[in-house]
Structure 1
Amino acid sequence: MYENKKAWLVIVMIALVTAGCSLAPKYTRPKAPIPSSWASGPACQEEGAERQCLAPQRLEWREFYKDPMLKQVIEMALANNRDLRISALNVERARALYGVQRAELLPSVTGSGSASKQRIPADVMGFPQALTIERYDVNLGISAWEIDFFGRIRSLKDKALEEFLASEEARKSAQIVLVSEVARAYLTLAADREMLSIAKATLKNQEKTYELILRQYEVGMASKLDMCQAKTQVDAARKDVARYTQVVALDKNALDLLAGRTVPEPLLPKGLSNVRSPEKIFADLSSEVLLNRPDIVAAEHRLKAAYAYIGAARAAFFPRISLTTSLGTATDELSNLFGSGTEAWNFAPQISIPIFDARTWAAYRVSKTERDIALAQYEKAIQTAFKEVADALAVQTAIKHQIEAQESLVKAVSETFTLASKRYLKGIDSYLNVLDAQRSLFAAQQELIMLRLAKLANRVKLYAVLGGGGE
């Protein structure tokens, strides 16, 4: 028994001594290949005396989005969207794979029991009479446990851990994309519904104007040309109503897909002017804030996994030591299976020394190349994120001035249309000027709605590209 305890003690000591060994290169975070601050040109300057600097990654989406109905639709999407569900399941799979790889560090202990009974006839094996041989065994043992002297298994475990952490960040990134896409689809639906309302109002006004001109034509107070021109405007307005009815239906289908179920009518926006604007974001922070964006954190975890894989590839050049051992009892009588003097043990270490294997060198070169690829992907992710934020900042200020100019244009064109209509009714001007003013007003109103949509959508995008909405 003393020898058995000594053997087990040796095993435990070896495991403890080799627990921290690894041949993976030391990881150092690469320097971010972007400027330390955002662009400061005219397109990126924000006017106003008071500016509140908000860290989007610390601002929950429930605080950023102010519209209560939009919040309910986002909650619905987070609960039912299938893409997000797949991302969550990928995290669970990565966690399970990490558990499998981590378990390789520990010995697999198995218990076994066996019984055999054999009869040997007389004169076989030199015995004059028949023999009956019985054997009973109970064993507890370890089979082919690799003692991780050089950190091969530990490096693979670290690689699996980093891949699991990357999958978790990928899930957060998927949630950010989903939240922003739901908000964008919701705002687009609101804008198109407002477009439809304007088209219907324009059609109604055109029909009234056509009826008036038709009566004037019947009594000889308007020309046939005016009547035909008014009729063409009615038909054009009907076409716009039909077109926006189709667009609204498609927008609704897109929103339902993102939400994972049919969004109830009470939660749908009536128009863009009825939607509460999201919180305004200023990027008065260092560009290093991007390093905490989930997709960039995921890329860094994949880079760390590549470093760990190099450690496993390096360890393949060194000997592998495995151990098979067991402790138990053996006897020829079942009643004496656990009696005194029945102890049995087995201790069989094995070492495998690589002499020459070209595949090992190739695998090592592959691991270093994969590290370089992961590094390039990490740097590209940072550069892409910086561009996305810079673009959103450039739009944020420029769109404000465009909306101010467009609002002034709509007001001027509306007054022009009113004056042209009055002049026509008094017989001072031709109906052609009324048509031009009407078309200009409708186009200006459409452009104003699209600019307001672009403003809100860009605010949503800025929040997302700065990493907001992942929690």
Structure 2
Amino acid sequence: MSRRFAFGVALLAAFLAAACAVVGLLFLLPGVPSLGPPAADAADSAAVEIFTLDEALRTAVESNRDVGKAMELRTSLEGKYVEERAAALPQFLATAEALRAWDGSQSIYGVPPASDRYVVQVGVSQPLYSYGAIAAGIRAAGERLATADDRLRIARHAVLLDVYAAFHDILLGRELNRIALEDQAQKARHLVEARKKYEAGTATDYDVLAAEVALRNAGPEVVRTRNSVRIFRERLRFLLGRDGREVDANGELSAVVADPPDYDDALGTAVERRPELSDLRHRRGTAEEMVVIARAGNRPRLDLRGALGRQEVDFGVVDIAGKTWSAGVFASWPLFDGLRARGRVAQTGSDARTLRIEEAQLLNAIALEVRDAVNAAREAGEIVNALAGAVEQADRLVAMAEKGYEYGVKTRLDVDDAQLNRSRALGNLARARRDRLVAGAALRHATGTLGDGITPSKGEKPAFRPAGPTMGLVGEVLRGAPTLPE
């Protein structure tokens, strides 16, 4: 009984000594970083803002700078719509005038040369006919306003794809850093084993030196992967608009491999949902309305104008005062404008035709992008499936090589090959899962469905939609829509 107890104590002491030796090597060998996180990182962990994928995507939609610029563009185009809409509404203008005049040419008739004139008047003007120019201007402003919504969706889709990639790059870098740390710890254990064998006389100083070199060579990969995590965290912070605050990702590289959609179905969804196509079509609609405006440049125009006021003239010896009013219909027709209108029609027509060509070109580009995205998603899924069992096989290979080396039936080269294959299998599987997740996001971006499940924040102003008919315009004015900042 006492012999068994003594043997157990000796075995436990040997295990503790080996563990202490591994830790001591990692701390004492120059150029080899420790397994734990740096002290600065641990101290600042409380100040780091942790995001899940859904939280990161929602924060990007709300706080990204490019999205904010797109929202300001919508505000600007709402102001442009209000400006164009004003041309169809009556314009009221109040004027006041106080005039001191001297005219001695009538003094021979006894008219006092000095006079004071006071006029107060309210005028109104309303266009009656403009050959469709005013209505076309309002429709063009409405089309521009629709492009603002398209630009906002374009900005959101772009930043969501970047956030998706940066988020999973952080997870990938962290996984590669874990693999590098495991490889470093394993090489440290091999060094301890080599020194024990050397002391026992079953290994040479060459084996010890080779183990030390292998341990030192594992250090740069640990530093490189740890720095890559910092770089991707900074990129995520930039995309989320978090100035002065550290951010980090909380998630797993777990890719659910599913067959990508059929190319024809994906292309049909892209043609229907891509905001770039919608933006181009609205821009083409704006250009066609500009053609109507240009053609109205040398056409007749009819306006109604009226005024109501009071006027008083004081000659010093007599004071004349009374109400004044006027009303009339005024017509104008540019008979010859130097062919200015014809030149504008040619320019705007060319712009509209150019946008039609760009639309066909964009359709071809989207078709190619969708095909590439479908192929990339299928390729990434097949790679994940191919590497599914490689890690388990590599782990078994390392265990067999280490055990064989311990019993003297395997060489150091066999162990190194097994460890290298395991590290490659783990790294390849992590990269394949990251590529599969990002490829899925890229496919949704190509079809225009990325971020459809993200609801806007409660504080976001609802998008303004033009009313259209004349009474609708009056209703907009009475409601004060759209709401514009001062």
TM-score, normalised via structure 2 length: 0.73
Query: What is the SS of the residue equivalent to 1:104?
Result: helix
Residue in structure 1 matched with residue 89 of structure 2 by the alignment: 106
What is the alpha-carbon distance in structure 2 between the residues aligned to residue 156 and residue 108 of structure 1?
A: 17
Please say if residues 369 and 446 of structure 2, whose CA atoms lie closer than 8 Å, have aligned partners that are also in contact.
yes
Please say if residues 187 and 453 of structure 1, whose CA atoms lie closer than 8 Å, have aligned partners that are also in contact.
yes
Structure 1 position 319 matched with structure 2 position 300: yes
AA of the residue aligned to 1:135: R
Query: What is the SS of the residue equivalent to 1:361?
Result: helix
Query: What is the SS of the residue equivalent to 2:155?
Result: helix
Structure 1 position 366 matched with structure 2 position 366: no
Query: What is the SS of the residue equivalent to 1:439?
Result: helix
Structure 1 position 421 matched with structure 2 position 402: yes
Residue in structure 1 matched with residue 11 of structure 2 by the alignment: none
Change (3 A) 1:102 1:232: same
Question: Could you tell me how far 1:286 is from its partner in structure 2?
Answer: 6.8
What is the alpha-carbon distance in structure 2 between the residues aligned to residue 137 and residue 368 of structure 1?
A: 48
1:186 to 155, 162, 167: 167
What is the alpha-carbon distance in structure 1 between the residues aligned to residue 330 and residue 196 of structure 2?
A: 108
Change (3 A) 1:356 1:261: closer
1:126 to 94, 108, 113: 108
Residue in structure 2 matched with residue 343 of structure 1 by the alignment: 324
Q: Please list the CA deviations of residues 7-37 of structure 1 after superposition, one character each: whole Å capped at 9, or x if unmatched.
A: xxxxxxxxxxxxxxxxxxxxxxxxxxxxxxx
Structure 1 position 461 matched with structure 2 position 432: no
Query: What is the SS of the residue equivalent to 2:389?
Result: helix
Larger CA deviation: 280-289 vs 100-109: 280-289
AA of the residue aligned to 1:108: Q
Structure 1 position 140 matched with structure 2 position 125: no
Question: Could you tell me how far 1:101 is from its partner in structure 2?
Answer: 1.4
**What is the correspondence of 1:196-345 to structure 2 with a 5 Å cutoff?**
196-261=177-242, 268-269=249-250, 271-273=252-254, 282=261, 285=265, 287-290=267-270, 291-321=272-302, 324-332=305-313, 342-345=323-326
Please say if residues 206 and 230 of structure 1, whose CA atoms lie closer than 8 Å, have aligned partners that are also in contact.
yes
Question: Could you tell me how far 1:281 is from its partner in structure 2?
Answer: 7.0
Larger CA deviation: 445-454 vs 256-265: 256-265
Structure 1 position 83 matched with structure 2 position 83: no
Structure 1 position 71 matched with structure 2 position 46: no
Question: Could you tell me how far 1:150 is from its partner in structure 2?
Answer: 1.2
Change (3 A) 1:278 1:127: farther
Please say if residues 313 and 320 of structure 2, whose CA atoms lie closer than 8 Å, have aligned partners that are also in contact.
no
Question: Could you tell me how far 1:147 is from its partner in structure 2?
Answer: 4.7
Residue in structure 2 matched with residue 116 of structure 1 by the alignment: 99
What is the alpha-carbon distance in structure 1 between the residues aligned to residue 168 and residue 244 of structure 2?
A: 14
What is the alpha-carbon distance in structure 2 between the residues aligned to residue 184 and residue 463 of structure 1?
A: 13
Please say if residues 293 and 466 of structure 1, whose CA atoms lie closer than 8 Å, have aligned partners that are also in contact.
yes
Question: Could you tell me how far 1:249 is from its partner in structure 2?
Answer: 0.2
Residue in structure 2 matched with residue 46 of structure 1 by the alignment: none
Tell me the percent identity.
Answer: 21
Please say if residues 70 and 186 of structure 1, whose CA atoms lie closer than 8 Å, have aligned partners that are also in contact.
yes
Change (3 A) 1:278 1:98: farther
Please say if residues 193 and 270 of structure 1, whose CA atoms lie closer than 8 Å, have aligned partners that are also in contact.
no
AA of the residue aligned to 2:81: Y
Please say if residues 118 and 311 of structure 2, whose CA atoms lie closer than 8 Å, have aligned partners that are also in contact.
yes
Change (3 A) 1:280 1:68: farther
Question: Could you tell me how far 1:294 is from its partner in structure 2?
Answer: 2.0
- The runs of 5 or more residues in structure 1 that have no matched partner are 1-66
Change (3 A) 1:233 1:147: farther
Question: Could you tell me how far 1:242 is from its partner in structure 2?
Answer: 0.3
**What is the correspondence of 1:397-412 to structure 2 with a 5 Å cutoff?**
397-412=378-393
Question: Could you tell me how far 1:236 is from its partner in structure 2?
Answer: 2.3
Please say if residues 138 and 330 of structure 1, whose CA atoms lie closer than 8 Å, have aligned partners that are also in contact.
yes
What is the alpha-carbon distance in structure 2 between the residues aligned to residue 102 and residue 128 of structure 1?
A: 54
Q: CA RMSD in A?
A: 3.2
Question: Could you tell me how far 1:426 is from its partner in structure 2?
Answer: 1.2
Question: Could you tell me how far 1:404 is from its partner in structure 2?
Answer: 1.9
Change (3 A) 1:148 1:377: farther
AA of the residue aligned to 1:237: A
Count of aligned pairs: 399
Structure 1 position 396 matched with structure 2 position 377: yes
Please say if residues 124 and 307 of structure 2, whose CA atoms lie closer than 8 Å, have aligned partners that are also in contact.
yes
Change (3 A) 1:418 1:224: same
AA of the residue aligned to 2:202: M
AA of the residue aligned to 1:83: D
AA of the residue aligned to 1:402: I
Residue in structure 1 matched with residue 18 of structure 2 by the alignment: none
Change (3 A) 1:292 1:78: closer
